[in-house]
A and B are shown apart, each in its own frame.
Chain A
Amino acid sequence: MITFTVNGNKHEFSGDPSTPVLWYLRDELNLTGPKFGCGMAQCGACTVHIDGMAQRSCVLPVSAVQGRKITTIEGLSENGDHPVQKAWVEHKVPQCGFCQCGQIMQAASLLSTNPTPSDEEIVENMSGNICRCGTYPRIHKAIKSASKSISSNAGVSYFDPTQAGEEA
């Protein structure tokens, strides 16, 4: 019996321990935020947090999460208002949207360990996540915005005229 938590709730698993966490989440728990895109940790659509760190759930066997905390996009924030989610809305990042849960989970993980990443660090950390619609320029900008709001977390935000209106 393998035990762990998903979005704060305790779960037990007694099936094939080689089952990837992705299929457990999707098929058993009906948590469909983590997506299947490649099955070999090439695209990042399945990204979840394991003890707060981004991991590709499509190649992570359930046997490896004994005693760990799994967080999916459904558990990232209560009201969809994590700074990264807010930045995604502000920059109107998504097109088809399929990869974006994975992108957001990856970006949230990055900012939790490095709240002020450089341009290059963003590229390095995000290049494992594919967006076939090509929203990379907006993802990059949104992460910069989220970084600003996280690192200036003093309860005050200031109007920035360059951020208003449409995306460039």
Chain B
Amino acid sequence: MSENTYFDMNRRSFLKSTAAAGALVLGTYFMGGAPRAMAGVLAKPAENAKRANLFIALRPDGMVEVTCHRSEMGQQIRTAIAQIVADEMEAAWDKVIVIQGKGDPKYGDQNTDGSRSIRFNMQRLREMGSSVRYMMQHAAAKRWGVEPSTCVAEQHVVTHTSGKTLAYKDLIDDALTITPPEADKLKLKERKEWRYINTGMAHIDLQDIVTGKATFAADVREPKALVAIIERPPVVGGKVKSFNADKAKAVNGVVDVIEIPAPKGAPQFQPKGGLAIIANNTWAAWQGRKALDVTWDDGANGDYNSANFKEQLLNTVNAPQALVREKGDALSVLEKASDKLVADYYVPHLAQAPMEPPCATAMYYKDRVDVWAATQNPQADMETVGAMVGMDKEKINVHVTMLGGAFGRKSKPDFSAEAAFLSMKTGKPIRVQWTREDDIQHGFYHAVSAQHVEAALDENGKIDAYLHRTAFSPIASTFQEGANAPFSFELDLGFTDNPILTPNMKLERGEAPAKARIGWMRSVSNIFHAFAVQSFINEAAHKAGKDPKNYLLEVIGPDRIIDVTDQKAEYQNYWGDKSVYPLDTGRLRNVIEKVSDMAGWGRNMPKGRGLGIAAHRSFLTYVATVVEVEVSDAGDLSVIKSWVAIDAGTVVNTDTVKNQTQGGSVYGITTAISDGITFDKGRVQQSNFHNYRVPRMSDSPLEVEVEVIESDAPPAGVGEPATPVYAPALCNAIFAACGKRIRQLPIGNQLKA
């Protein structure tokens, strides 16, 4: 080890430190003060936490190590972060290596959800890369005794106008004497100078994935690790009553049966409790579990029944509730209206069902715990594991593997806490493997919801007054015991920010208890809010006898910026500054017009075929989708093709955005065709992919044509925004194809009737 040099953006100076020998390590201040895990889906970036803590290292061999502090779950963030840094620092792409950052508050927020990795980080990553390029350019100039302006740093080499050159790796010592300017005086590249950013370059993990070399959570091979499979209480809050440990231990390979304590208070990310079967291999643990003969005390949630709860939610939204946003006097206009449209919508619980079920390996030591986990938020693992084993969170080392899909499930690290607890009890490294049944039955579910919408239409179909009530089991309940009312951010997502232009609008929210653990799933409450709003507008179009696309544009109205806080509403705008990320209906109009062109909206459709459209802004991104379906006389549904226009502002990897948009669309099919998650006697009634259907190739359109709108607006979200529009576009297409209106999801047998 030798002394090394870190650059501190705050002090504008270098700090001596010990690090990998001979490397120039550049850090920049980042958003520090990591938000508590419970802030969940919309953690707010902290401001002004200027610490030298996100690193680019230039090694003596010339390789550049870029640290990715966000989790890789298919959105190719590892590639995107490298693209941004390498572009601004003018690194040769084949000399860039990505290092996966461990859980550490020094990085600032690491909670990889809310579609915000690029939005929160792009500017700082650019500044960091640019600072290195500056140092390379100025170091070479100093060595040569020439004006820096006569030197150009490009592709790992600085070239002087005379033609002489110096490689980056030969400038490391010189660069330590160079101080780059303040961030606001750095000369970042102009867009036209970008060579990696805003291209569709292949992602860095592609070859590892297609050869089976990528390491997902269950692929972590700790040689002495034992495997644990856990039988958890089927009802949230339930406890073990009796079990047969001897019978389980009699299974060859089973080492032990260990009880995990029941959680206390609000669920948070605590394990559910239950009985862990510890074995030498996975199959033995699996067999041992079956031999346990466990019985349970179900507790207070043993009465949870989805059919009854649905009635409760529908009753709630059909009565006045707490005000969220108000303009004019919607109620009195509605009372007097001669032409009214009234509709109730329902969307069930859903499970994220990532392809890799939750899994973590942990090794407990006296003074620390090492964890390897598929986690979206390693800092939440640090807190949750620390609390579980009674250790300071700083002592929990969390290594982040490839995620194998996540969709919100893996920002709740109950599985890491299970592994750490069992390692503490056994003194051995433990890999906790969730089965698919565990994943489907012990999740943090997408909230079940009901929506009630009413509108008064004038003689031209214009909406004179609009009333919308929402009720759902809130995410708030996961963090506050007994919470019945949603966090305001749950309403922000597609409810409070309704873009309909009308003189009279009233938005209300009801209360609903949570009898299961509720969590966020890709695009969160946008799913049911967009389903209601976009279905309702389509219904109104048909009632008014207007073309649904034209009508959609009409109800959104002329291009303008909407600030709902003028209408007694609280609205956090995904924690985006509203002057930087305003709700701009012009951009919404633009994607609608674009997607209509792509899909050939208005063309004649054969019998049984139909086009449906929906548009929605979420995660500060504007998406419009057209779906073409065919419904046979027998009521069989085929999704033929989809078109999506997405305006996410500046995008880093154009192909990734397309892939995410295609995938986010297919994910949206789940809402429509899945059986949903239902409960009886507090127990989830689905167990695996045979009865919790997720889209297969036969359910998916074979083409999802995506147009990424070219934009120099600031970067917005990409991972989630394609999902909420899909189910309403699909159901609107079904109506166009066969005249059947789907107000309740899943579609189930409704087309057969």
Contact = CB atoms under 8 A, between A and B. Distances in A.
Interface of A: 16, 18-20, 23, 26-28, 30, 32-40, 42-43, 45, 72-74, 80, 85, 88-89, 92, 94-101, 104, 119, 122-124, 126-140, 165-168
A123 B697 contact: yes
A37 B404 CA distance: 10
Contacts of A33: 211-213
A72 B286 CA distance: 23
Given A100-B209, A132-B354, A167-B655, A127 B200 contact: no
Given A39-B435, A89-B202, A99 B355 contact: yes
Contact of A130 (B209, B665, B694): B694
Contacts of B286: 39
B221 A32 contact: yes
A80 B355 CA distance: 23
A80 B210 contact: yes
A65 B688 CA distance: 26
Interface stretch (B256-264, B301-309, B546-554, B698-706): B698-706
B337 to A, nearest CB: 42
Contact of B206 (A89, A104, A123, A139): A89
Given A74-B212, A132-B667, A138-B662, A43 B689 contact: yes
Given A27-B283, A36-B218, A130-B689, A137 B355 contact: no
B282 A27 contact: yes
Contacts of B73: 96
B572 interface: no
Given A89-B207, A127-B696, A38 B688 contact: yes
A157 to B, nearest CB: 19
B277 interface: no
B252 A127 contact: no
Nearest to B437: A39
Given A33-B213, A74-B212, A96-B74, 15 more contacts: A26-B282, A35-B216, A36-B218, A39-B437, A42-B688, A92-B202, A95-B75, A95-B663, A96-B403, A97-B209, A97-B214, A97-B404, A129-B696, A137-B700, A166-B200
11 contacts: A27-B227, A37-B355, A92-B659, A94-B210, A97-B205, A97-B208, A135-B659, A135-B662, A136-B697, A137-B666, A137-B704
B703 A131 contact: no
A34 to B, nearest CB: 8
Contact of A136 (B356, B404, B700): B700
A40 B696 contact: no
A73 B696 contact: no
Interface string B54-77: 000000000000000000111110
Interface string B644-679: 000000000011001110111111010000000000
B218 A132 contact: no
B281 interface: yes
B329 interface: no
- Most A CB within 10 A of own CB, among B75, B662, B665: B662
Looking at A30, A45, A96, A167, the one whose CB has the most chain B CB atoms below 10 A away is: A96
A42 B282 CA distance: 19
Interface residues on B, range: 35 or more
B268 interface: no
Contact of A45 (B221, B355, B696): B355
Contacts of B357: 36-37
B658 A166 contact: yes
Given A26-B282, A132-B405, A136-B666, A166 B210 contact: no
A73 B662 contact: no
B288 to A, nearest CB: 12
B660 A95 contact: yes
Interface in B371-421: 402-407
B254 to A, nearest CB: 12
A80 B694 CA distance: 30
Contacts of B701: 137
B203 interface: yes
A140 B282 contact: no
A28 B659 CA distance: 36
A98 B355 contact: yes
Contact of A97 (B74, B287, B669, B697): B74
Interface centre among B72, B252, B696, B703 (most CB of A within 10 A): B696
B204 to A, nearest CB: 12
B378 to A, nearest CB: 17
A106 B281 CA distance: 27
A153 to B, nearest CB: 20
Contacts of A45: 355
A134 B663 contact: yes
B722 to A, nearest CB: 9
B695 interface: yes
A123 B702 contact: yes
Given A23-B283, A42-B688, A92-B202, A132 B221 contact: no
Contacts of A34: 212
Contacts of A36: 218, 282, 356-357, 433
Contacts of A39: 286, 435-437, 688
Nearest to B719: A95
A104 B213 CA distance: 14
B219 interface: yes
B599 interface: no
B67 to A, nearest CB: 21
B283 A19 contact: yes
B697 A126 contact: yes
A35 B202 contact: no
B141 to A, nearest CB: 38
A96 B210 contact: no
Nearest to B215: A32
B236 interface: no
B410 to A, nearest CB: 11
Nearest to B434: A36
